[in-house]
């Protein structure tokens, strides 16, 4: 093995060791985020479940409309405006434009 190939092999090994150390450090530092990420995972799973069972959303909406129609319209308007804002923000972020 010539010296250039040996030098490259050593450099690769050093980079691999550095990468392992960085991953271990990140794992230790991110341990505090584990509960928050678990809640986020539950929210995503709930979204998937609701997407697979839209009848639950319809039944809940009908029940709320029968019980308190004014409150439902108020919260529905807020949810719709929040959804619109999220779509606009996501569109800006996807295009890479700075927020103004």
Residues near 71 by beta carbon (within 8 Å), at least 6 away in sequence: 64
Per-residue pLDDT of the chain (100 residues), as tens digits, is: 689 999 999 999 999 999 999 999 998 988 888 888 888 999 999 999 999 999 998 998 888 888 888 887 888 899 999 999 988 888 887 776 565 5
Domain ranges of the chain: 1-52
Do 50 and 57 touch, CB atoms closer than 8 A? yes
Do 41 and 47 touch, CB atoms closer than 8 A? no
């Amino acid at each position: 093995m010539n010296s250039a190939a040996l030098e490259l092999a050593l450099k690769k090994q050093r980079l691999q060791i550095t990468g392992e150390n960085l991953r271990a450090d990140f794992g230790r530092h991110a341990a505090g985020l584990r509960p928050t990420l678990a809640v986020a995972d539950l929210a995503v799973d709930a979204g998937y479940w609701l997407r697979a069972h839209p009848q639950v959303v319809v039944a809940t909406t009908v029940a709320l409309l029968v019980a308190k129609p004014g409150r439902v319209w108020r919260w529905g308007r807020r949810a719709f405006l929040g959804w619109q804002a999220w779509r606009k923000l996501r569109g800006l972020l996807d295009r890479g434009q700075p927020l103004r």
